[in-house]
A and B are shown apart, each in its own frame.
Chain A
Amino acid sequence: MPRPRLIPCLDVAHGRVVKGVSFVGLRDVGDPVELATHYSNGGADELVFLDIAATPEEAATMTAVVARVAEVLSIPFTVGGGVRSVDDASRIIESGADRVSLNSAALADPSLITKIATRYGSQAVVVAIDAGEGVVHSHGGRVATQVATVPWAQRAAECGAGEILLTSIRQDGRRSGYDLELTRAVRDAIAIPVIASGGAGSAAHVAEALAVADAALVASIVHENPEGLAGLRDEIINLGVALRPIGVR
């Protein structure tokens, strides 16, 4: 098995990294390339960029960000938000992203997963699931659907998804730990890897999540102090998690 992964997630709007609670009071926290470089230097295994202001008019702005990031970043990165078609995915992957993340668009049309996986391989397709109260939520977690979480993860895997990015709406932003029960239930039901998301407040939380998932997404815990990622990584390793060794050459 590959090593468990620690994945900082950056929210991007209008070409800048932003921070805010439930889309309210978004604050500019920096340049995507600069922050990506910090996280990469701090030992991030991968990065996720979520375009939270994605509109068709903004597509070119995000594509330019992707191209700039790809030029400097030497670790893999996933781009989500506003991927609604094979053309959207092509635009992002051909600008240098390794993977795209689908959410509402995959719920509306699961064949989109298959189409992108056929062209770029399953490893290039992440399906993001925002889960709460046993059902999947769409549109940034705001709209509860009738779709149950575990069957949807299974369906996404059958359609060709290469990984599930599973966010607990209940835990997201609370910094009181990941929803381990939800993560375990989803991962046990499928054979593709799972990224746990929502709730990281400490190294111990991340270590717990990595016992039941293949990777853990971290957001606010690292954004408050991007320079602190290396320290967080060391703490997680000290808790017995075999993150990858760095700098062996």
Chain B
Amino acid sequence: MNEVVVVDYGAGNTRSVRAALRRLGRESVVLSDPRAIEEAPLVILPGVGSARSAMAHLRATGADEALRARFAAGRFTLGICLGLQLALEFSEEDDGVEGLGLLSGRVERLREGRIPRLGWSVVEPWGAAYYFAHSYAAVSDDVVATADGVAAAIERDAFLGVQFHPEKSGPDGAAFLERCLARA
């Protein structure tokens, strides 16, 4: 199966991610079936909605265990925005939500600047600017890139999470997604 699996957690807009993949010549399916999530070569955990409802949906469908199993098996997962945040142990959002715990760390409300943090920021050390739209951010030992001092990417083993939206970040975002597709 060469299709990219986009995890359905019952909220929001998976259309942008799927359109971005199509522009790169890749088809995708949106589903919550644990077996497909566990075994697909590339899974994207997209990023719209609230932490509490997303985690509740992942638990109800068994997708949470499937995501842990694929992580343990070393199969690549890309988390985008909320999808990054869900991979950590705990989020302050919605009065506190337990995450998947794939990576150690927590999600805290932004304290500086205008919130929500909206717009393009240069991600270091990668050098390109990507589009951010968030009010919470990761605090983790696994941060591998930052933007304006905020966690922009976390990575450990086969999980890469990005706080920005590559599907909304123009040609630079498309190039980023292409590298992820090549990696899976």
| A interface size (C-beta, 8 A) | 39
Choose, from B27-35, B59-67, B71-79, B120-128, the stretch at the interface.
B120-128
The main secondary structure of chain A at its interface with chain B is loop
Bound Cα distance A185, B49 (Å): 32
Determine whether the beta carbon of B114 is less than 8 Å from that of A191: yes
How far in angstroms is the closest Cβ of chain B from A66?
A: 10
How far in angstroms is the closest Cβ of chain A from B174?
A: 6
How far in angstroms is the closest Cβ of chain A from B72?
A: 31
Determine whether the beta carbon of A249 is less than 8 Å from that of B175: yes
- Asked whether B48 is an interface residue with its Cβ less than 8 Å from the other chain, the reply is yes
A1-52 contacts to B (CB < 8 Å): 1-5, 40, 45
The main secondary structure of chain B at its interface with chain A is mixed
Q: Given contacts A40-B170, A75-B168, A193-B114, are A244 and B120 in contact (CB under 8 A)? A: yes
- Asked whether A74 is an interface residue with its Cβ less than 8 Å from the other chain, the reply is yes
Q: Given contacts A3-B120, A74-B170, A192-B114, are A249 and B16 in contact (CB under 8 A)? A: no
Q: Which residues of A contact B96 (CB under 8 A)?
A: none
Q: Given contacts A70-B19, A74-B171, A76-B168, are A121 and B118 in contact (CB under 8 A)? A: no
How far in angstroms is the closest Cβ of chain B from A156?
A: 14
Determine whether the beta carbon of B12 is less than 8 Å from that of A247: no
Q: Which residues of B contact A245 (CB under 8 A)?
A: 122, 128-129
How many A-B contacts if CB must be within 8 Å? 120
| B interface size (C-beta, 8 A) | 41
Q: What are the interface flags for A60-101 relative to B under an 8 Å C-beta threshold, 1 for contact and 0 otherwise?
A: 000000010011101110000000000000000111101000
Partner of B133, one of A94, A123, A246, A247: A123
Bound Cα distance A207, B15 (Å): 34
**Which residue numbers of B lie inside 8 Å of A, CB to CB?**
11-13, 15-16, 19-20, 22-23, 48-50, 113-122, 127-129, 131-135, 148, 165, 167-175
CB-CB nearest 6 A-B residue pairs: A2-B119, A244-B120, A244-B129, A248-B128, A123-B133, A123-B116
**Which residue numbers of A lie inside 8 Å of B, CB to CB?**
1-5, 40, 45, 67, 70-72, 74-76, 93-96, 98, 118-124, 162-163, 191-193, 214-215, 244-249
